[in-house]
Structure 1
Amino acid sequence: MTGAGLSQRSIETDRHRTVWIEAGPAQGPLMVFLHGWPELGLVWRRQIEFFSALGWRCVAPDMRGYGGSSRPDTMAAYEVRELVSDMVDLHDALGGGPAVWVGHDWGSAVAWSMASHHATRCRGVANLCVPDFARGFALPNLVPLVDRHVYPMERYPVGQWDYWLFYREHFAQASRDFEADVAATLALVYRTAPERKPGEPAFTADIRARKGWFGAAGRPPAMPLDQVLLGQDDFDAIVKAFAATGFAGADAWYMNDAANIAYAADAPNFGRLTLPALFIHATNDTVCDTMQSRLAEPMREDCERLSEVTLEGGHEIMLEAPGTVNEAIARWLTSAALV
């Protein structure tokens, strides 16, 4: 389901099929929105509606492993190198003019990589929650930045990133548990974040000790939809998509650390960005904690024209606070002379 003002399109090349939604004038400046886990391009609806009304051609693909796009059955198919190549193919199909790339969660890793590996395809890059890692968005580069006041080494050796190791050690179980009740899994993910309590570990910090995301139950608890984040129609569309695809493709994005580090090392200028970049911090994001940990520090070293904005909300900040996210991006576009 797309809804009024949004059209759905697709391309298929020898290597990949990408399905996307878009709105706005076909000749308008291009803005591409990249989603993360476990999402679809549809989570950008309110950004697409806002910026298309301002004259932007707004495009939001279902990324590899999601929705109607290709779902290869090998782990290596989900390396960032492959994900970026998908976006290059999409960008060519959209005309190839320099775009503003906007990402969230794992989509941020792809958007940052578009900027570092394909700068001529970018006018600017804006990302939510996941900062730039010029050396690769990979567990070995995240663990040294963990806040050890919150996550003592002896109890939380990889801090809030424990779930990343759970995928590696129990991949089939993780997907199976999510799929036991797709609607309940997604209702749990798409919830307004509570105000963060200082010193409180993230839910993801002891997934292995609990023997899974949902412990011995092996399935998510039933809970009602939080309609602050998603309306019923969009939620139903996302549930339908994951009921069809499962979670294995989405989860496989976590399985390629070594390859992703190697790909990052191939970037020109050591991955350093000279184009305009915006990063949006979310105050209540406990996993991608850029407020109380050092997670954002590498980005500040490697982005020469970086702007930062802090917004009240949790990890799904573009859904929880769409108005302030849209305003922050719009202000940055103006200040960076991208409009």
Structure 2
Amino acid sequence: MVKVTRHDFTTRSDKTLSYLDAGPHDGPLMIFIHGWPAIASTWTPQLTTFASLGFRVVAPDMPGYGVSYKTKDKSDYSMQNVVTTLLSLLKHLERREAIWIGHDWGASVVWAFLAHNPEFCTGVVNMCIPYRTLEMGVDELVKYANRDIYPEDEYPNAQWDYQVFYQDQANLDKAIAFYEVDIDNFLKAIYRPQNSAGHDKPAITATVCEDGGWFGGADKPPQTPLETSLLDEHTLRHLGDAFRAGGFWAPTAYYLNHDANKEWAEDWSVNEGVVSIPTLFIEALHDHVADTHNSTVKEPMQSYCRKHTEVSIEAGHWVAMEKPEQVNAAIARWILTAIPSAWPFDKKTPLKRNR
């Protein structure tokens, strides 16, 4: 049975980052980066699988989340500062490089890490959010909106309207109060599976500014039965306790750095953003917000990533939780084909093929 342990370390900026660790200490390193609103343990199906295959797997509670550091300085959650924290993590682990895996905001952080620090990447796997989009600011995402679904006069910010909502301080305060008034029901409502029924329809996130808040401007999250979500009682309790202890301000502060992120992204330090490291993009076909299947948002990624693979999975936004076996198989297959030297073969026991 795989044993997952928790560790803390002090970053270069004298802040405490906490992470989960499993697998052989000398195995090839995989680092899993979660998004909003999640914590390290949401990667458990991936951590246990790849640790059992001989990888060393690490998943931090990202800055602002779980038991990692939290501040009230929004700049601590800019791409540049978060990437710097991940560089500290890699140094702490005494490794030169890793396979980096991200989802949601975590995907954007990993893309930014890759763009500025490719020498520390064996390969990169990201889910739902393509390269050269969110890490460059919300305006970059809006450029690729499907205007057949989101006419500009009616939905100026398309499905990314909720991110624009946070830019007003009063709205930010209102959103955070909404999340925190009933954390369990908010999490159950967010962590839900999706299907094709939402295709070709505006997402609920497209009218947050007009409605004055989430779910039509409601005062509190809707009552959501646990069985309709992707969470079990243990995962809900773990997530809920994390956000009850730490709140939602710091996690939501990632959305407050679009201008700073854009400025840093435009200052490409390596090859003007062109990527030669092997990359894998896992597309969630039923993600109604990050609708990569129904827009042109993947085009920059396909243009800039020169050793690129894509896999599409019939799942919603939480693809790694909804379809963990398919996600794990896609990652394993990609490692074996795109970066076979990163697979933890026992060098003393050569592979034998059936004849």
TM-score per shorter chain, which class?
A: over 0.9
2:159 corresponds in structure 1 to: 160
> What pairs with 1:1-339 in structure 2 (closer than 5 Å)?
5-13=3-11, 15=13, 16-133=15-132, 136-169=135-168, 170-226=171-227, 229-267=230-268, 268-336=270-338, 337=340, 338-339=342-343
Contact 2:208/2:217 (8 A) holds in 1:
no
Does the aligned pair in 2 maintain the 1:36–1:108 contact within 8 Å? yes
Q: Deviations over 1:196-233 (max 9, x none)?
A: 44321111000111110134432101212247733321
| RMSD of equivalent CA atoms | 1.5
SS at the partner of 1:234? Answer: helix
**Whole-angstrom CA distance in 2 between matches of 1:208 and 1:151:** 15
The aligned amino acid for 1:264 is: A
SS across alignment from 2:200: coil
Partner letter of residue 209 of structure 1?
E
Rounded to whole Å, the distance in 2 between the matches of 1:102 and 1:226 is 28
Q: What is the number of residues matched between the two proteins?
A: 337
**Structure 2 unmatched runs, 5+:** 344-355
Contact 2:282 2:313 in 1 (8 A): yes
Distance 1:294 1:92, change over 3 A: same
Using the TM superposition, give the Cα deviation of residue 92 of structure 1 relative to its aligned residue in structure 2, in angstroms. Answer: 0.5
Is the alpha carbon distance of 1:228 and 1:28 closer, same or farther for their aligned partners in structure 2, counting shifts above 3 Å?
farther
Separation in 2, partners of 1:247, 1:197: 27
Q: Do 1:134 and 1:271's aligned partners in 2 also have CA atoms closer than 8 Å?
A: no
CA contact (8 A) 1:178 1:220 kept: yes
Using the TM superposition, name which of 96-105 and 129-138 deviates more.
Answer: 129-138
Change (3 A) 1:119 1:216: closer
Deviation at 1:76, TM superposition (A): 1.5
Q: Quick one: distance in 2 between partners of 1:28 and 1:35? A: 22
Structure 1 stretch displaced more, 322-331 or 227-236: 227-236
TM-score by length of 1: 0.96
Is the contact between residue 287 and residue 316 of structure 2 (CA under 8 Å) also seen in structure 1? yes
Offset at 1:136? Answer: 3.7
Alpha carbons of structure 1 residues 226 and 133: separation in structure 2 relative to 1, 3 Å: farther
Q: Partner of 1:11: helix, strand, or coil?
A: strand
Alignment partners' CA distance in 1, 2:162 and 2:156 = 12
Q: TM-score, normalised by structure 2?
A: 0.92
Unaligned runs of 5+ in 1: none
User: What secondary structure, in the 3-state scheme, does the structure 2 residue paired with 1:58 have?
Assistant: strand
Distance in 1 (alpha carbons) for counterparts of 2:307 and 2:231: 33
Confirm or deny: 8 A CA contact 1:187 1:226 kept in the other structure: no
Residues 64, 83 of structure 1: 8 Å contact kept: yes
CA 1:216–1:257: 2 relative to 1, 3 Å: closer
